[in-house]
Structure 1
Amino acid sequence: MPAQYHISLPDPSKARGNDPDLSFHSQGAAGFAEELQDALRSGTLFERWKAKQPDPDAVETQWGVTDPDATVTGEQKDLRINLVATTRIDSDVFKQRLRLLAGSHWELRDVR
Protein backbone atom coordinates (compact mmCIF):
# COMPACT_ATOMS: atom_id res chain seq x y z
CA MET A 1 0.00 0.00 0.00
CA PRO A 2 1.44 3.39 -0.91
CA ALA A 3 2.25 6.00 1.71
CA GLN A 4 1.46 9.67 1.34
CA TYR A 5 4.25 12.01 2.49
CA HIS A 6 3.39 15.64 3.20
CA ILE A 7 6.56 17.71 2.76
CA SER A 8 7.13 21.41 3.28
CA LEU A 9 9.93 23.51 1.81
CA PRO A 10 9.88 26.55 4.15
CA ASP A 11 12.37 28.53 2.05
CA PRO A 12 12.34 27.11 -1.49
CA SER A 13 15.42 29.10 -2.52
CA LYS A 14 17.44 27.13 0.07
CA ALA A 15 15.97 23.74 -0.86
CA ARG A 16 19.16 22.49 -2.46
CA GLY A 17 21.33 19.49 -1.67
CA ASN A 18 25.08 19.62 -1.07
CA ASP A 19 25.88 18.56 -4.63
CA PRO A 20 24.42 20.88 -7.30
CA ASP A 21 24.44 18.00 -9.80
CA LEU A 22 22.02 16.06 -7.59
CA SER A 23 19.91 18.83 -6.07
CA PHE A 24 16.69 20.59 -6.99
CA HIS A 25 16.98 23.22 -9.72
CA SER A 26 13.36 24.43 -9.73
CA GLN A 27 11.93 27.61 -8.28
CA GLY A 28 8.18 26.90 -8.30
CA ALA A 29 5.85 24.31 -6.79
CA ALA A 30 5.20 22.47 -10.07
CA GLY A 31 8.91 22.20 -10.82
CA PHE A 32 9.80 20.86 -7.36
CA ALA A 33 6.96 18.32 -7.64
CA GLU A 34 8.13 17.22 -11.08
CA GLU A 35 11.75 16.79 -9.98
CA LEU A 36 10.80 14.78 -6.87
CA GLN A 37 8.39 12.64 -8.88
CA ASP A 38 11.14 11.88 -11.39
CA ALA A 39 13.53 10.98 -8.53
CA LEU A 40 10.97 8.47 -7.25
CA ARG A 41 9.90 7.03 -10.61
CA SER A 42 13.27 6.65 -12.32
CA GLY A 43 16.74 5.54 -11.28
CA THR A 44 18.48 8.59 -12.78
CA LEU A 45 19.14 10.44 -9.51
CA PHE A 46 20.26 7.22 -7.80
CA GLU A 47 22.64 6.33 -10.64
CA ARG A 48 24.23 9.82 -10.58
CA TRP A 49 24.63 9.59 -6.79
CA LYS A 50 25.98 6.02 -6.95
CA ALA A 51 28.60 7.01 -9.55
CA LYS A 52 29.95 9.62 -7.12
CA GLN A 53 30.50 7.12 -4.30
CA PRO A 54 34.07 5.91 -3.52
CA ASP A 55 33.05 2.31 -4.34
CA PRO A 56 29.89 2.40 -6.47
CA ASP A 57 29.73 -1.40 -6.62
CA ALA A 58 29.42 -1.56 -2.82
CA VAL A 59 26.23 0.55 -2.75
CA GLU A 60 23.29 -1.56 -1.60
CA THR A 61 20.62 -2.09 -4.24
CA GLN A 62 17.83 -1.05 -1.83
CA TRP A 63 18.85 2.60 -2.39
CA GLY A 64 18.06 2.29 -6.10
CA VAL A 65 14.44 1.20 -5.73
CA THR A 66 11.98 3.07 -7.94
CA ASP A 67 8.20 3.41 -8.02
CA PRO A 68 6.90 4.01 -11.56
CA ASP A 69 3.47 4.83 -10.10
CA ALA A 70 4.71 7.52 -7.68
CA THR A 71 2.94 10.88 -7.90
CA VAL A 72 3.89 14.24 -6.45
CA THR A 73 1.81 17.41 -6.35
CA GLY A 74 2.96 20.81 -5.22
CA GLU A 75 1.39 24.08 -4.17
CA GLN A 76 2.71 27.47 -3.13
CA LYS A 77 1.38 28.51 0.30
CA ASP A 78 2.59 31.99 1.27
CA LEU A 79 6.39 31.75 0.99
CA ARG A 80 6.63 27.98 1.42
CA ILE A 81 6.02 25.15 -1.00
CA ASN A 82 4.05 22.11 0.10
CA LEU A 83 4.51 18.79 -1.68
CA VAL A 84 2.44 15.63 -1.37
CA ALA A 85 4.21 12.48 -2.57
CA THR A 86 2.36 9.19 -2.90
CA THR A 87 4.72 6.24 -3.28
CA ARG A 88 5.49 2.66 -2.31
CA ILE A 89 9.16 3.53 -1.73
CA ASP A 90 10.44 2.81 1.78
CA SER A 91 10.63 5.86 4.05
CA ASP A 92 14.43 5.63 4.48
CA VAL A 93 14.95 5.66 0.71
CA PHE A 94 12.39 8.44 0.31
CA LYS A 95 14.17 10.61 2.88
CA GLN A 96 17.56 9.92 1.30
CA ARG A 97 16.26 11.14 -2.07
CA LEU A 98 14.91 14.30 -0.44
CA ARG A 99 18.25 14.94 1.28
CA LEU A 100 20.01 14.64 -2.09
CA LEU A 101 17.54 17.04 -3.69
CA ALA A 102 16.92 19.55 -0.88
CA GLY A 103 19.67 19.02 1.69
CA SER A 104 18.25 19.66 5.16
CA HIS A 105 15.88 22.39 3.95
CA TRP A 106 12.65 20.38 4.06
CA GLU A 107 10.16 19.31 6.71
CA LEU A 108 8.18 16.09 6.90
CA ARG A 109 4.75 17.29 8.05
CA ASP A 110 2.74 14.07 7.94
CA VAL A 111 2.73 10.49 6.64
CA ARG A 112 -0.51 8.69 5.87
Structure 2
Amino acid sequence: MTRYYLSLPDPKAARGSDANTSFKANGADGFASELQEALRSTQLFERWRGQQDDPDDIDQALAATDPNASVTGEQHDLRIDLVANTTLPASILRHRLRLLAGDGWQLRDVAA
Protein backbone atom coordinates (compact mmCIF):
# COMPACT_ATOMS: atom_id res chain seq x y z
CA MET A 1 0.00 0.00 0.00
CA THR A 2 1.26 3.46 -0.86
CA ARG A 3 0.75 6.54 1.29
CA TYR A 4 0.22 9.84 -0.53
CA TYR A 5 0.59 13.12 1.35
CA LEU A 6 -1.58 15.71 -0.36
CA SER A 7 -2.37 19.34 0.26
CA LEU A 8 -5.25 21.61 -0.69
CA PRO A 9 -3.60 25.05 -0.28
CA ASP A 10 -6.88 26.91 -0.86
CA PRO A 11 -9.78 24.54 -0.12
CA LYS A 12 -12.35 26.94 -1.59
CA ALA A 13 -10.49 26.77 -4.92
CA ALA A 14 -10.04 22.97 -4.78
CA ARG A 15 -12.83 22.30 -7.23
CA GLY A 16 -12.86 20.46 -10.52
CA SER A 17 -14.04 22.09 -13.73
CA ASP A 18 -17.37 20.21 -13.63
CA ALA A 19 -19.70 20.54 -10.64
CA ASN A 20 -20.95 16.98 -11.27
CA THR A 21 -17.53 15.50 -10.48
CA SER A 22 -16.09 18.19 -8.21
CA PHE A 23 -15.53 18.24 -4.46
CA LYS A 24 -18.59 19.48 -2.56
CA ALA A 25 -16.88 19.54 0.85
CA ASN A 26 -15.67 22.53 2.84
CA GLY A 27 -13.88 20.91 5.79
CA ALA A 28 -11.00 18.46 6.17
CA ASP A 29 -13.21 15.51 7.09
CA GLY A 30 -15.51 16.15 4.14
CA PHE A 31 -12.65 16.36 1.62
CA ALA A 32 -11.15 13.16 3.06
CA SER A 33 -14.48 11.35 2.89
CA GLU A 34 -15.15 12.36 -0.72
CA LEU A 35 -11.66 11.34 -1.87
CA GLN A 36 -11.91 8.05 0.01
CA GLU A 37 -15.22 7.27 -1.71
CA ALA A 38 -13.70 8.20 -5.09
CA LEU A 39 -10.91 5.67 -4.51
CA ARG A 40 -13.16 2.91 -3.14
CA SER A 41 -15.96 2.99 -5.72
CA THR A 42 -16.52 3.64 -9.42
CA GLN A 43 -19.22 6.29 -8.85
CA LEU A 44 -17.01 9.30 -9.65
CA PHE A 45 -15.46 7.53 -12.64
CA GLU A 46 -18.89 6.56 -14.00
CA ARG A 47 -20.21 10.14 -13.68
CA TRP A 48 -17.15 11.41 -15.57
CA ARG A 49 -17.28 8.61 -18.15
CA GLY A 50 -20.95 9.30 -18.85
CA GLN A 51 -20.09 12.87 -19.85
CA GLN A 52 -17.51 11.87 -22.46
CA ASP A 53 -18.31 12.00 -26.18
CA ASP A 54 -17.69 8.26 -26.55
CA PRO A 55 -17.99 6.64 -23.10
CA ASP A 56 -17.34 3.18 -24.54
CA ASP A 57 -13.95 4.34 -25.81
CA ILE A 58 -12.69 5.22 -22.29
CA ASP A 59 -9.91 2.98 -20.96
CA GLN A 60 -11.54 0.73 -18.34
CA ALA A 61 -8.26 0.70 -16.40
CA LEU A 62 -9.26 4.17 -15.16
CA ALA A 63 -12.20 2.54 -13.35
CA ALA A 64 -9.89 0.68 -10.94
CA THR A 65 -10.88 0.84 -7.27
CA ASP A 66 -9.36 0.00 -3.92
CA PRO A 67 -12.11 -1.04 -1.47
CA ASN A 68 -9.62 -0.73 1.40
CA ALA A 69 -8.41 2.78 0.57
CA SER A 70 -8.44 5.20 3.48
CA VAL A 71 -8.08 8.97 3.57
CA THR A 72 -7.67 11.27 6.57
CA GLY A 73 -7.75 15.03 6.59
CA GLU A 74 -6.47 17.79 8.87
CA GLN A 75 -6.94 21.54 8.77
CA HIS A 76 -3.71 23.57 9.09
CA ASP A 77 -4.44 27.29 9.10
CA LEU A 78 -6.10 27.83 5.71
CA ARG A 79 -4.64 24.67 4.13
CA ILE A 80 -6.09 21.16 4.32
CA ASP A 81 -3.70 18.21 4.36
CA LEU A 82 -4.89 14.79 3.24
CA VAL A 83 -3.18 11.42 3.65
CA ALA A 84 -4.41 8.75 1.23
CA ASN A 85 -3.47 5.10 1.73
CA THR A 86 -4.21 3.02 -1.35
CA THR A 87 -3.00 0.25 -3.62
CA LEU A 88 -4.14 2.21 -6.69
CA PRO A 89 -1.44 3.49 -9.04
CA ALA A 90 -0.51 7.17 -8.82
CA SER A 91 -2.04 7.78 -12.27
CA ILE A 92 -5.49 6.75 -11.00
CA LEU A 93 -5.15 8.90 -7.88
CA ARG A 94 -4.12 11.90 -10.01
CA HIS A 95 -7.06 11.38 -12.37
CA ARG A 96 -9.56 11.28 -9.49
CA LEU A 97 -7.98 14.33 -7.86
CA ARG A 98 -8.13 16.30 -11.12
CA LEU A 99 -11.83 15.52 -11.37
CA LEU A 100 -12.47 16.45 -7.74
CA ALA A 101 -10.11 19.40 -7.22
CA GLY A 102 -8.93 20.54 -10.65
CA ASP A 103 -5.50 22.10 -10.19
CA GLY A 104 -6.23 22.99 -6.56
CA TRP A 105 -4.16 20.19 -4.98
CA GLN A 106 -0.50 19.37 -4.43
CA LEU A 107 1.34 16.10 -3.95
CA ARG A 108 3.70 16.73 -1.05
CA ASP A 109 5.26 13.30 -0.50
CA VAL A 110 4.87 9.57 -1.20
CA ALA A 111 5.82 6.64 1.01
CA ALA A 112 5.63 2.94 0.23
TM-score by length of 1: 0.98
Q: Distance in 2 between matches of 1:104 and 1:34?
A: 19
Q: Distance in 2 between matches of 1:67 and 1:45?
A: 13
Q: Distance in 2 between matches of 1:107 and 1:94?
A: 12
Q: How big is the shift at 1:95?
A: 0.2
Q: Distance in 2 between matches of 1:9 and 1:47?
A: 24
Residue number in structure 1 paired with 2:92: 93
Instruction: Give the residue type in structure 2 aligned to 1:70.
Output: A
Instruction: Give the residue type in structure 2 aligned to 1:69.
Output: N
Q: How big is the shift at 1:68?
A: 0.2
Instruction: Give the residue type in structure 1 aligned to 2:41.
Output: S
Residue number in structure 2 paired with 1:82: 81
Cα deviations across residues 15-69 of structure 1 (Å, max 9, x unaligned)? Answer: 0000011000000000000000000000000000000111000101110000000
Give the number of aligned pairs: 111
Q: Distance in 1 between matches of 2:56 and 2:110?
A: 32
SS across alignment from 1:46: helix
SS across alignment from 1:7: strand
Q: How big is the shift at 1:91?
A: 0.5
Any stretches of 5+ residues in structure 1 without a counterpart? none
Q: How big is the shift at 1:107?
A: 0.5
Q: How big is the shift at 1:6?
A: 0.3
Any stretches of 5+ residues in structure 2 without a counterpart? none
Residue 37 of structure 2 is aligned to residue 38 of structure 1: yes
Q: How big is the shift at 1:80?
A: 0.2
SS across alignment from 2:4: strand
Residue number in structure 2 paired with 1:10: 9
SS across alignment from 1:22: coil
Identity %: 56
Q: Distance in 2 between matches of 1:33 and 1:53?
A: 26
Residue number in structure 1 paired with 2:104: 105
TM-score by length of 2: 0.98
